[in-house]
Structure 1
Amino acid sequence: MPASNAANVRSIKIVIVGAGSVGVTTAYALLLSGLAAEIVLIDIDTNRALGEAIDMSHAAHYAQARVRVGDSYDDCAGATAVIVTAGVNQKPGQTRMDLVKTNYGLFKSIIPQIAAAAPDTILIIATNPVDVLTHAALKLSGFPVERVIGSGTAMDTTRFRHELGKQFGVNPRNVHAVIIGEHGDSQLPVWSLASIAGMRLRDYAAQKGIPYDQEVMDGCSQRTKDAAYEIIQRKGKTNYGVASVLVSILEPIITDGDALVTVSRVGTYAGVDDVALSMPCKLNRAGAHQDVPLLLDEKEKELLKQSAESIKEVLRACE
């Protein structure tokens, strides 16, 4: 880490609201990353949160960061970012949208308190359904649009690259492909722009001397969409992947890194206005910025519109 960024980290405070499995795993991943000097956990169950903080403080001996429990939302004051993971978790057989009424009601309580205590912070929303709740957090906080960011399809994009990497026999970091739209069932892969080594996937397969089968490719995107359902069915929750993704969203914010990440942000998409969904955004210390629109083909534009409209329908039901 450059010296200027290392100096900046010494003043970084990150608050995590919700000390469930995602919140605690995120705190631990953040602790080991060395990106923050202070990590604050806020949870309704302060005793359990304290136990987690004490346990992590033993790891902090090696990571050189302070982990503590906040007494109230006033502890959000001075935070560079506040990550919200609080809410009811998705259960086997549920969709993310099934959680909306309970978690929307919770946000009406907690988001105004966070905004009042930390008016200059960046809100990072991880609670599902993340697109609906990113929109809710923007309205309830009164923050500028760039300072309310949903984790969105950053996790789906990571899973998608993992699937394509396995299929083509390359490291997922060398796969350039994104999932956009809803973090949910209407998400869509951008096949028209997916590439490896600067070549479209079909061209890369031809150069490598392997067949390109769109049905196999569609299987990769379907496994991406179904991944959370499978994990929840097997272990009851997802936490490691999303925690790593949340830290990857935080890093360019803390370091002013200008990294492109597929996150959820309120805007107008495919002609549908005032809706949150995921597109590649530039992340830096000012928040999330949509500088360059994707060059989608006509089919992808239509699928994006359908995704936006499905989210908008849920938003109408909440209002």
Structure 2
Amino acid sequence: MVKNTKISVIGAGFVGSTTAYAIMLQKLAEEVVIVDINEKKAMSEAMDIAHGTAFIEDIDVKYGDYSDTKDSDIVIITAGPQPKSGETRLDVLNKGLKINAQIVPQVVKYNPNAIIIVVANPVDILTYQTYKLSGFPKERVIGSGTVVDSGRLKYFVGEKYGINYRKISTYILGEHGDSQVAAWSSTTVSGIKLDDYLKSLGFEINDEIKEKISQKVKEVGFDIVGGKGYTSFGIATAVARIIKAIVTDEHTVLPLSTLYTGEYGIEDVYMAAPCIVGNSGVKNLLEIDLSQEELKNLQKSAEVLKSLNIK
């Protein structure tokens, strides 16, 4: 258990409750508070998770209102509309903005020194809105970005070629959505360029294969929603990974939604970039090597999001 760490989760839906559960399993906090407009739902989820602490550690999991989140180290916002089958994450924009606009002032009121992690979709736009509404420095307003997408890319490459996907280093950049960009030119396996690694094993890798895998990464979330009605485990585990990097001051690199301030020729937009993450939030946004095509597509992704941001 990470001592003296308090984490609050706003939203007791599939993502929020599973995230709270992942935090408990990984012993990432001493206290976890779940808040939801549906108090009975928050109470039931907190109670269910709390019963599991008997087998894990002495972690206090409870439900409450915003006042109970007071002095949290991290506040996670998961509350928002769930995209339906056939909808893009941007289709739920207006609903999400309204809900988030009600949440952020309450979070700020009770947690002026917290790091805010936005998970609700469309995550990049809601994170930008949270940054504007909160008045917090950009380092302390983070979106879950494309951590889960990048994990999916590793998984699908490993699955296709029968290699250990945990040895793959790669990033999805830009929007957590349709305009996202796979950074194939910077993808490595144990430090070796992916193309060279696969060719040394006699495998074929080309632009057509890369595009098919990239498309699969974009679509698989909706495939999951189509089968079970929502996604939860993948994103919750990704959020727990972000939290671990923060509470242990890990200085690891994760593709988080953060504010671009000129990097890659992009300004004033929140979207995923490789970020060094530690106990103060995002410490640095890294500019990695991209092909000209990847850079062009990343800039296009920025334009898509900038056209929708609410100032």
Task: Please tell me the TM-score bracket, short chain as reference.
Answer: over 0.9
Matched residue, 1:31: 24
Say yes or no: does 1:279 pair with 2:273: yes
CA distance in 2, matches of 1:296, 1:216: 18
Say yes or no: does 1:119 pair with 2:100: no
Give the letter aligned to residue 295 of structure 1: D
CA distance in 2, matches of 1:201, 1:30: 33
Identity of aligned residues (%): 37
Count of aligned pairs: 309
Instruction: Look up the SS of the partner of 1:39 in the other structure.
Output: strand
Matched residue, 2:288: 294
TM-score (norm 1): 0.94
Say yes or no: does 1:311 pair with 2:305: yes
- Asked if the contact 2:34/2:46 (under 8 Å) is kept, the reply is yes
1:102 aligns with one of 90, 95, 101: 95
Matched residue, 1:3: none
CA distance in 1, matches of 2:266, 2:273: 14
Say yes or no: does 1:137 pair with 2:119: no
Say yes or no: does 1:74 pair with 2:67: yes
Give the letter aligned to residue 124 of structure 2: D
Alpha-carbon deviation of 1:267? 1.9
Instruction: Look up the SS of the partner of 2:307 in the other structure.
Output: helix
Alpha-carbon deviation of 1:273? 1.8
CA distance in 2, matches of 1:284, 1:290: 10
CA distance in 2, matches of 1:270, 1:101: 28
Alpha-carbon deviation of 1:85? 0.2
- Greater shift, 78-87 or 287-296, is seen at 287-296
CA distance in 2, matches of 1:32, 1:50: 19
CA distance in 2, matches of 1:292, 1:18: 31
Mind listing any 5+ residue stretches in structure 2 that lack a counterpart? none
Mind listing any 5+ residue stretches in structure 1 that lack a counterpart? 1-5
CA distance in 1, matches of 2:28, 2:190: 30
TM-score (norm 2): 0.96
Residues 65-95 of structure 1, C-alpha deviation per residue, up to 9 Å, x if partnerless? 111001x212221211000000111111111
Give the letter aligned to residue 288 of structure 1: V
Instruction: Look up the SS of the partner of 1:183 in the other structure.
Output: coil
Say yes or no: does 1:21 pair with 2:14: yes
- Asked if the contact 1:134/1:266 (under 8 Å) is kept, the reply is no
- Asked if the contact 1:124/1:148 (under 8 Å) is kept, the reply is yes
CA distance in 1, matches of 2:182, 2:123: 18
Alpha-carbon deviation of 1:291? 4.6
1:93 aligns with one of 63, 86, 89: 86
CA RMSD of aligned residues (A): 1.2
Structure 1 segment 51-70 matched on structure 2, within 5 A: 51-64=44-57, 65-70=59-64
Give the letter aligned to residue 25 of structure 2: L
Instruction: Look up the SS of the partner of 2:308 in the other structure.
Output: helix
- Asked if the contact 2:276/2:286 (under 8 Å) is kept, the reply is no
Residues 205-260 of structure 1, C-alpha deviation per residue, up to 9 Å, x if partnerless? 22112222332222111100111111111111000000000000000111111111
